[in-house]
């Protein structure tokens, strides 16, 4: 069972992932950093950074470039099993939109979205959901 996540300098997503308590790996922030290559199935947790573009009728690019770079690696892409997205409901219909795009492009279910660093209920639902569906999602069962 592995969580792969991206989090910017504000680290909301990192706080959410830490509360889940599963093994995790972080997609690096800077291009010069050592790229992350995974070798086991994982759930991707990704914040949305489209700036609410589609609300203003503009083309939305909600997935952070670091996550696009990570998923452009074929091995990384092959191991994704589900996506969870972070965001802010102030962005209306663009709330958590990164999850829609990743789900479409990688053909995996978009299983949950949460605001900012998530609340206790979000943490509980995601923990239970991942544990209950680990086998169905093709994640190796774990004692976490
Ligand atoms: C420039 C910018 C654009 C954002 N665009 C969106 C958006 O389109 N939809 C959304 O749901 N949240 C959006 N957010 C909110 C972030 O997804 C949210 O703050 C998230 O928790 C950031 O995670 P991080 O601190 O781990 O990077 C945006 C935030 C910023 C700073």
Q: Which of 143, 94, 127, 102 is nearest to 3 (CA)?
A: 127
Tens of pLDDT, residue by residue over 102-140, are: 999 999 999 999 999 999 999 999 999 999 999 999 987
Q: Which residues line ligand 1 (CB under 6 A)?
A: 7-8, 10-14, 47-52, 62, 86-88, 91, 94-97, 116
User: Ligand 1 atom 3: the closest Cα is on which residue?
Assistant: 51
Read off the pTM.
0.95
Q: How far is the CA of 49 from the centre of ligand 1 (A)?
A: 5
The confidence score (pLDDT) of residue 141 equals: 55
Q: How far apart are CA 60 and CA 50, in angstroms?
A: 6
User: Ligand 1 atom 29: the closest Cα is on which residue?
Assistant: 49
CA distances from 1 to 20, 54, 73, 76, 78 (A): 12, 34, 20, 15, 15
Mutational test site, ligand 1, from 8, 51, 59, max ligand atoms within 8 Å of CB: 51
- In the chain, what percentage of residues exceed pLDDT 90? 86
Q: How far apart are CA 3 and CA 22, in angstroms?
A: 7
Summary mean pLDDT of the chain:
94
Segment 24-49 mean pLDDT: 97
User: Ligand 1 atom 31: the closest Cα is on which residue?
Assistant: 49
Domain ranges of the chain: 2-129
- Greatest extent of the chain over all pairs of C-alpha atoms, in Å: 46
Q: Does residue 22 register a pLDDT over 70? A: yes
Which token pair is 59? 């083309």
Task: Tell me which of 2.40.110.10, 3.40.640.10, 3.30.70.330, 3.40.50.360 is the CATH number of domain 2-129.
Answer: 3.40.50.360
The confidence score (pLDDT) of residue 99 equals: 98
């Amino acid at each position: 069972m592995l969580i792969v996540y991206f989090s910017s300098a504000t680290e909301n997503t990192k706080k959410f992932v830490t509360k889940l308590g599963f093994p995790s790996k972080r997609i690096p922030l800077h291009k010069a950093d050592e790229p992350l290559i995974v070798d086991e199935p994982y759930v991707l947790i990704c914040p949305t950074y489209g700036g609410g573009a589609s609300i203003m009728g503009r083309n939305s690019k909600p997935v952070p470039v670091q996550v696009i770079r990570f998923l452009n690696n074929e091995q990384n892409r092959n191991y994704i099993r589900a996506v969870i997205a972070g965001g802010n409901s102030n962005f209306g219909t663009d709330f958590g939109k990164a999850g829609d795009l990743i789900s479409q492009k990688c053909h995996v279910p978009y299983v949950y979205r949460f605001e900012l660093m998530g609340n206790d209920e979000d943490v509980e639902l995601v923990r239970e959901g991942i544990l209950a569906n680990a086998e169905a999602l093709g994640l190796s069962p774990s004692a976490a």
